[in-house]
Structure 1
């Protein structure tokens, strides 16, 4: 391809790859349609992996704002450097889901997709799951289950496949439960399959979001009939669909959060205003944990009744986010290495909304291509585009002195 001048040389393919790997996913999608050459290059697996690697170098914080069952999504570049005298870009508004589309109770974040699930405790309990890409406005609803339970979204990075796991809460009388279900996105079938899980027989899935790390889905489960409750971490291998349970110390009287700590599952316990600990699973087979205890500064703005943990960054910083946007809204970074806090005030978010925050939002062309969502004709995929008046003007981010 040339620039149009007689003596101009064609742009080398390697240079094209390097240029486009630095663009947003939306720009890449548009450029794929401009020429057959670009389309061929930008659809290659090598480019997709390079784009994901570059995207991991510029992760973002995702904010899901809820008010009267309507959800709005914003994102902000995640801190990759000290913010002392540097201005940060404003949060970007992406889209809004009206309340007549989803009215979920539970939520979570997996490999760039937000999933919502709703359960109603009636004579015919229905578990409904909605999965969406918060920046493109695409979402999908999976087939309902007339059961009472909890669903999770997992991702297999080897097979590039998303799966929805449903854990049934119905009491069992046998020693091997086959009431649980799994559904694979993108295989053209869109049907729930029965799956056996003997490790969760005497355990009831807790109301945590779960977390998927390197193709393994982790979530907390507790004993059903004994007191005090014995909590275990259930591991579900998304690729093999095999279960395993792991013993863990879990103090349910305090704020507890599962996190991805440098590629390993971690359990953060936040006691009161000052004490915080993180237990890291070092060896899954041997079930070996390491535990670290920290003391937060007494004069910090953190309060477990007003803040929640969004996750842990690749740099080893715990990110705290306020639960509501009323008043001043802060995100707090706590460095585990230096044992220091830094508060960042974020301006421009919609007021009087509940907030769910997540770390490490990256652009993955495997997800943005929506092949997992569009490959099945039975899957309902709709694009919701925000109205101009829904965008906030001139939002900004400021460091708190």
Structure 2
């Protein structure tokens, strides 16, 4: 038997690697870059990320803005749902297409850092971990998460996540809530962190102190959220407003709410068919939607709906509206996690409602569940700080 030396083995491996590389290059040369790009947009994000090691050309293509935007444009036509599961020790999440909600199905969560998650923005999410006093921006599609620098002031805070389409920038906003002389909480020390920019938080000015009450929803480069404006010593006398935070100029402004809108402790600001809307809901399945049709003119449209067979579908559980999915259906989920988790999908055009029971993983002790709509898959690599 011939003994093979280590030197010969190394040379053989090198020759094999060269031949393998040549084959990849020949395959790449036989396909146009447009065709390669077309194929890549049809692959799952996690698979696309692995292909950056094929060649420098593929690396530059996949990590380029043109490919990311093209992939996102196509993903926007098939938005997903994100389920977040609160457990005593960890937080978990999973995603599902609205088509899967046509029947009962089970979902297996993955571990995700953070305690509070902002609504997804173009495939990215922002987690706020109050225990560790950190913000974490992540791409659930690729499993990449980026921990931001610590915020100097971390007391009672509110935070929002948005995207500036003009400059192609993702931003995290954080504000500290402090008590004024009348004992009311108002926003203070407003800070912003820009992904891919300098690795620091910047202070910005807010000329309209307020107290945020709802989640923030990013729509066309502006984050909207409900808040109290000013302080009159009593919660009943405070005026409810909609705060708009422009992602490009980083300026705050307020608009008045239409008569009849009540900002509750529940996150009753939702995304409704591409617009934002406030939801006021009654226990018997009746609810009113105030949809912001034109932000510049502060035009609102009221829509009153009654979900049929509400008690038969829901029972005694209290449900909250989470917005619309790609089918146009409104999605409701329990405000407090029951023993058996479920969601209600309501089609207002057909006036039909259905219940979907979701079986959660038994490996985790889930104490609460939260659903987010309008999540899209993205192959985007999070920019490293400088």
Shift of 1:55: 1.4
Deviations 1:299-341 (A, max 9, x none): 4423685433332224422112245665432222112322221
Query: With structure 2 as the length reference, what TM-score do the two structures score?
Result: 0.79
| Equivalent position to 2:250, from 228, 236, 241 | 241
> Counterpart in 2 of 1:349?
361
SS at match of 1:337: coil
State how far apart, in whole Å, the 2-side matches of 1:265 and 1:14 are.
37
CA separation of 1:18 and 1:172: change in aligned 2, threshold 3 A:
same
Report matched runs for 1:225-374 at 5 Å: 225=232, 226=234, 227-249=236-258, 250-252=261-263, 257-297=268-308, 298-302=310-314, 305-323=317-335, 327-350=339-362, 352-353=365-366, 354-366=368-380, 369-371=381-383, 374=384
Could you say what secondary structure the match of 2:119 adopts?
strand
CA distance in 1, matches of 2:266, 2:28: 63
The alignment of Structure 1 onto Structure 2 pairs a total of residues equal to: 350
Q: How many angstroms apart in 1 are the aligned matches of 2:355 and 2:75?
A: 25
Contact persistence 1:115–1:131 (CA under 8 A): yes
CA contact (8 A) 1:270 1:304 kept: no
Quote how far apart the aligned CAs of 1:178 are. Answer: 6.8
Cα distance change of structure 1 residues 78 and 2 upon mapping to structure 2, 3 Å threshold:
farther
Greater helix content: 2
C-alpha change, 1:347 and 1:338, in structure 2 (3 Å) is same
- The answer to whether the Cα contact below 8 Å between 1:72 and 1:95 also exists between their aligned partners in 2 is yes
| Secondary structure in structure 1 of the residue aligned to 2:268 | strand
Paired residue for 1:218?
224
TM-score for both structures, normalised by structure 1: 0.76
Q: 1:166 aligns with which of 174, 183, 195?
A: 174
Please give the secondary structure, in 2, of the residue aligned with 1:198: coil
For 1:215 and 1:272, the matched residues in 2 are separated by 34
Mapped pair 1:205 → 2:212: yes
Is the CA contact (8 Å cut-off) linking 2:104 and 2:357 kept in structure 1?
A: no
Provide Cα deviations, 1:146-183, integer angstroms capped at 9, x if missing partner: 2433111122233221212123322458xx98732222
Distance in 2 between residues matched to 1:222 and 1:277, nearest whole Å: 21
Gaps of 5+ in 2: 1-20
Deviation at 1:215, TM superposition (A): 1.3
Tell me which residue corresponds to 1:94.
110
The 3-state SS of whatever aligns with 1:110 is coil
Deviating 4+ runs (over 6 angstroms)? 1-4, 6-9
Give deviations 1:93-118, integer Å, cap 9, x for gaps: 43344xxxx4x3x4322313333335
* Cα separation, partners in 2 of 1:34 and 1:247, compared to 1, 3 Å: same
Greater mean deviation of Cα atoms: 146-155 or 208-217: 146-155
Partner of 2:201: 192
Task: Give SS of 1:17's match.
Answer: helix
Kept in 2: contact 1:261–1:314 (CA 8 A): no
Contact 1:178 1:194 in 2 (8 A): no
Q: CA deviation at 1:9?
A: 8.6
* d(CA) in 2 for partners of 1:263, 1:238: 18
Cα deviations across residues 345-372 of structure 1 (Å, max 9, x unaligned)? 2224346411111112212233xx011x
Tell me, yes or no, if the aligned pair for 1:108 and 1:209 is still in contact at 8 Å.
Answer: yes
Higher gyration radius (CA): 2
The farther-off stretch of 57-66 and 176-185 is 176-185
Alignment RMSD (CA, Å)? 3.3
Secondary structure, counterpart of 2:58 in structure 1: helix
Q: Which runs of 5+ in 1 are unaligned?
A: 121-125, 377-401
